[in-house]
Amino acid sequence: MVNVHIGLDDVDSINGGCTTHFAVQLAWELKKKNIRFIDYLNLIRLNPAVPWKTRGNGAVSIRLQASPEETVGDIWELIISKLEEYAGEFKDSKNQPSVVLHVGEIPWDYEWFANKALHDLVPIDLASRILSKHSETRYYSVRGRRGIIGALAAIGYTMLNTDYTYELVAYRVREYWGKPRLVDSTSIKTMDELYGKEMLLNYDYESNRPLITPHGPDPVLLGLRGEDPRVLFEAYSVLRINEPVEYIAVFRTNQHTDAHLLEVKSICDVRPYMCVKVRGFVKVKPRRIIGGHVVFELCDNECCIDVAAYEPTKSFREIVEKLEIGDYVEVMGCVRPPSSSHGKTINLEKIRVLKLTEIYDYVNPKCPLCGSTMESMGKGKGFRCRKCGYRDPYAKKIAVLRERSIKPGLYQPPKSAFKHLMKPLERIGREKTVFPGVSLEDFVTKLI
C-alpha cells in the first residue's frame, strides 16, 4: 500500500465552477471504487493578498491509500478525464485548472513551498523547479500552469502538527445555482444557540445576517465551520433547508488559524503582498479618511508603514481610533502595495495593544483656601483665585494622567468582516496540534 496525495487548484470559474465542488465529485467517484481515504478532504487557504486571486484562494487535497502501481495509474486517468470534463463545462479563460499527484511521503520541500505560498508571493517557476526534482510526482494543467502553485501547496500543507478546523459544506443541485439560497434564517439562529460555542461564524449579530451562506453563483449552498466534524453534522440537522442538496462533504482546513501571518522582527522586512504580524509604535494618530477607513502610521526604530482598518470592519475602527501617538502595538494583516494615493499599507485584521503611552493633561491648580479652580495671571506670573482673591505667583499648571478609553489586549473586527484564514479570539486556547485520523467514515456523501 502506498499513500497518494492529490492536489487541485484553480478549477473555479466565473460561471459557477468551484475547486471544492470538483474535489467532492472526484472524491465521490474514488469512494465508489472502495478507495480508503487517510484524511478528510483538505481545504487549504493560501495567501489572500495574491493579486491574481479574487475569490478565497483555496486549494484542495485528497489523501488516500492505493495498492499496486496500476491503481495509481487508474486514479490518475480518472482525475484527468474528470478534470477535462469539468473544465470544459465551466469554461473560463482566466483560470488554469491544475492537478498534482504525489505518491509516498511528503517531501520536505513541498512543505516548505506550502508555507511560503501561505504568506508570500510564489512564482510559478519555483513550483516547476521543485516538481522537476521529484519523479514520484506527476502533474497536469488544462489551460495554463498557474494552478500548479496551489495544487502543490495543498499537498505540502499537511496539518499533521499545525492548527486546523473543519468545515461541512453542502452543495446545491445545478438548477438552483445563481438563485437565492433557501436556508431558513431562524433555524440558523437556533443552530447557533445550540452549537455556536463549538462553531465559528454562524451569524453576525452586529449586522443581523447569517454568515453560513455565500452570495455568488457557485454551487455551495452553505458551509458550517467548527472544531469537530460530528458537531457540525448535528448542527446541520437543525437547519431547515428548502431546496435539494446534492453533496455533503467535510473538509479539514487551515481556515481561522491565522496560518497566513508570518511573524517578522522589523517593519523593514514587510513587503507588498505579504501577510504579517509585526510590532511598532503609533507614529501618527489614527484618522478617518474618505470612504470611512481609519488609517495610522506605525514605526519601529528604523522603518514605518501605514496601517488601515477599512470601512467593512465597522466598529473595529472605533477601537483603532482610540490609539494615541506612542502606543506600542502588534498589528496583523496583509500588505497592499503602494499606489499614487497611499503608501504600502497593512490591511488590519487584528490588533494587540501591548503598552499604552501615558498621556498627561495640564490643568489649572485649585485654590488652597476655597477649592475653586484658579486662573492664570499670564505666562510665568502664577495663578489667582477669582472667588476669594488668593494669589500665588509661583503656582504652575498641574499634570493629570489621562484615563485611556482603551485597555491593553487583543481586538478583532465583527464577524461579518472576517476572511477565511482569520482566527477569531474565541479560538484562542483551542488550537489543535495533532491530527488523530479520520473518525467519520461518511465524510463525502451524494444525496441525489
Q: Of the two residues 168 and 395, which places its CB atom closer to Zn ion in the complex?
A: 395
CB 367 to Zn ion: min, Å: 3
Q: Which of 76, 233, 390, 435 binds Zn ion (CB under 5 A)?
A: 390
- Smallest distance from the beta carbon of 378 to Zn ion, in angstroms? 19
Other Cβ atoms within 10 Å of 245 Cβ, number: 18
Compute the distance between CA of residue 103 and CA of residue 138 in angstroms, rounded to an integer. Answer: 9
Q: Which is nearer to Zn ion, 358 or 375 (CB)?
A: 375
Angle between helices 185-195 and 229-238 in degrees, nearest 10 = 140
Distance CA 423, CA 331 (A): 14
Number of chain residues interacting with Zn ion (CB under 5 A): 7
From the CB of 398, what's the least distance to Zn ion, in Å? 16
Residue with cell 474535489: 23
Q: Which helix (H) or strand (E) holds 167?
A: strand 165-172
Closest to Zn ion by CB, 363 vs 369, is 369
Which of the residues 352 through 371 are near Zn ion (CB under 5 A)? 367, 369-370
> Based on CB atoms, which residue is closest to Zn ion, 79 or 395?
395
Q: Shortest gap between Cβ of 371 and Zn ion (angstroms)?
A: 7
Closer residue to Zn ion in complex, CB, 131/385: 385
What is the smallest separation between the CB atom of 382 and Zn ion, expressed in angstroms? 14
Do residues 86 and 32 lie in contact, with contact meaning Cβ atoms separated by under 8 Å? no
CB of 380 to Zn ion, least distance (A): 21
Q: Between residues 369 and 410, which has the closer beta carbon with respect to Zn ion?
A: 369
244 versus 371: smaller Cβ distance to Zn ion: 371
Q: Is 165:44 a contact under the CB 8 Å cutoff?
A: no
Question: Is residue 398 within the footprint of Zn ion (CB under 5 A)?
Answer: no
Question: Closest Cα partner for 162 from 270, 42, 76?
Answer: 42
Chain residues 369-388 in contact with Zn ion, contact rule CB under 5 A: 369-370, 385, 387-388
Q: What is the DSSP string of 51-93?
A: TT--S--EEEEEEEEE-SHHHHHHHHHHHHHHHHHHHHHT--T
Q: How far is the CB of 381 from Zn ion (least distance, A)?
A: 17
Distance of closest approach, residue 317 Cβ to Zn ion, in angstroms: 45
The minimum distance between CB 374 and Zn ion, in angstroms, equals: 7
Map grid coordinates 478617518 to a residue. 288
Residue 446 near residue 247 (C-beta atoms within 8 A): yes
Would you say 24 or 395 has its CB closer to Zn ion? 395
Q: In sequence order, what are the beta bridge partners of 253? A: 43, 165
Q: Is 186 helix (H, G, I), strand (E, B) or coil?
A: helix
Instruction: Pull the grid cell for residue 108.
Output: 520536505
* E-only strand ranges, 173-321: 199-200, 203-204, 209-210, 220-226, 245-253, 262-263, 275-288, 294-299, 304-309
Nearer to Zn ion, 27 or 367 (CB): 367
Which is nearest to 167 in space by CA: 250, 241, 104?
250
**Residues near Zn ion, by CB under 5 A:** 367, 369-370, 385, 387-388, 390
